[in-house]
Amino acid sequence: MSQHPHTNRPGFENSENLRILLNRLHDAGAHAWQSDADAAALMRHAATKYAALARKHGLDPWEAAAAAFEAMRTPAVRRADDPWAVITRAVQVTCIAEDRANGLLCSVHQARRPRYSSFHDAERFSDRENPLSDYHPAFHVDPFENDHSEDDEPVSEDDRSTGVGSAVEDTIVLFCLLGWEPELAHAAIDYVCARLAESASRAGAYESLRRDRHARALLDLPAPSWYRLLRIVLGSQDTAHTGTNAGRGVLLRLLIGEPLQHLLTDEDLVLSVSLAVPGVLRGRSE
């Protein structure tokens, strides 16, 4: 391979030199990349070349180098008029997809598809500056109203905010204790709470989420698990369940003072959460 004057490194920035190296590695077989010194130097060069692009999207330079490696092994790069231009575009697309996947809580494959990448990043309830009670009238409730006497101190806004946050965290813990993967339980319940905060009513949030196929796709949840999770968290919207534990839902039950330990003794609730674990109800639909 030709060298730049006054340097011992191959002229990687020259597209023709790059093409020669890539063709040589291709002709040498699949294991050539592991043992060829020029291949190792090329990957170090790629990591340096795309470091700024990687950092822009919150990635490590070697993740960008890995994307460049995948592109370099394709015939399209070896035959391109400007191999580096094709590689750079491939790395850029991969970095964008990785960044979107991290924000959307989905796979890189899904993040490459416009039907998913058009959404805004997932928002966790814990990231909001204001408590859920500021957004949704269903939570404008004093969780201690039945527990304090006339001589008790009034409940502060900070206490109410803490009550709402604790209710959300305890809901996540409940699902994790009954078989849900922690990351999935956290993402799903945060998503439900975020939508609830934007809705005019609990019933409105339930109906909106029930029809939200994109949410199920982003969370990778089967329909039976998704529908059961909504009923468990937000409560059944059947008028026959009004005023019952099933109608209140876990969030409201926790908010009005029921401890998590008490909910774990509710056999119907425990069974419902356990059956909602993805895969348990495979083959059934709502």
Q: What is the mean pLDDT of residues 16-35?
A: 88
3 pLDDT tier (thresholds 50, 70, 90): very low
Which one has a higher pLDDT value, 209 or 130? 209
Which one has a higher pLDDT value, 10 or 173? 173
- List, in order, residues 6 or more apart from 278 with CB less than 8 Å away: 184, 221, 222, 225
Q: What is the mean pLDDT of residues 227-249?
A: 86
Mean of the per-residue pLDDT values of the chain: 78
Lowest mean pLDDT among 132-136, 218-222, 253-257, 262-266: 132-136
Which one has a higher pLDDT value, 154 or 85? 85
Q: Alpha carbon of 104 to those of 181, 189, 215, 254: distances in Å?
A: 18, 15, 10, 28
Which one has a higher pLDDT value, 165 or 274? 274
The count of residues in the chain is 286
Q: Where are the domains of the chain?
A: 15-117, 125-275
**Which residues is 29 bridged to in the sheet?**
none
> Above 50 in pLDDT, residue 158?
no
> Exposed, middle or buried: residue 230 (CB in 10 Å: 0-12, 13-18, 19+)?
buried
Q: C-alpha angle with apex 55: 50 to 60, nearest 5 degrees?
A: 75
22 pLDDT tier (thresholds 50, 70, 90): very high
Task: Give the position of tokens 């998704």.
Answer: 226
> Above 90 in pLDDT, residue 223?
no
Distance, C-alpha 63 to centroid of its chain: 19
> Above 50 in pLDDT, residue 17?
yes
pLDDT tens by residue, 89-145? 989 888 888 877 776 666 666 656 665 555 555 566 556 555 555 555 555 554 444
CB 139 within 8 A of CB 132: yes
Give residue 220's pLDDT.
85
User: Phi/psi at 10 (nearest 5 deg)?
Assistant: -60, 150
Backbone torsion region of residue 236, taken as left when φ is above 0, otherwise alpha when ψ lies between -120 and 50, otherwise beta: beta
The 10 Å CB-count burial string (b at 16+, else e) for 78-88 is: bebeebbebbb
Q: What is the mean pLDDT of residues 35-62?
A: 90
Report how far residue 114's alpha carbon sits from residue 128's, in angstroms, rounded to the nearest whole number: 27
Output the pTM of the full model: 0.45
Query: Which amino acid makes up residue 182?
Result: P
Measured over the CA atoms of residue 131, residue 136, residue 140 and residue 143, the dihedral's sign is: negative
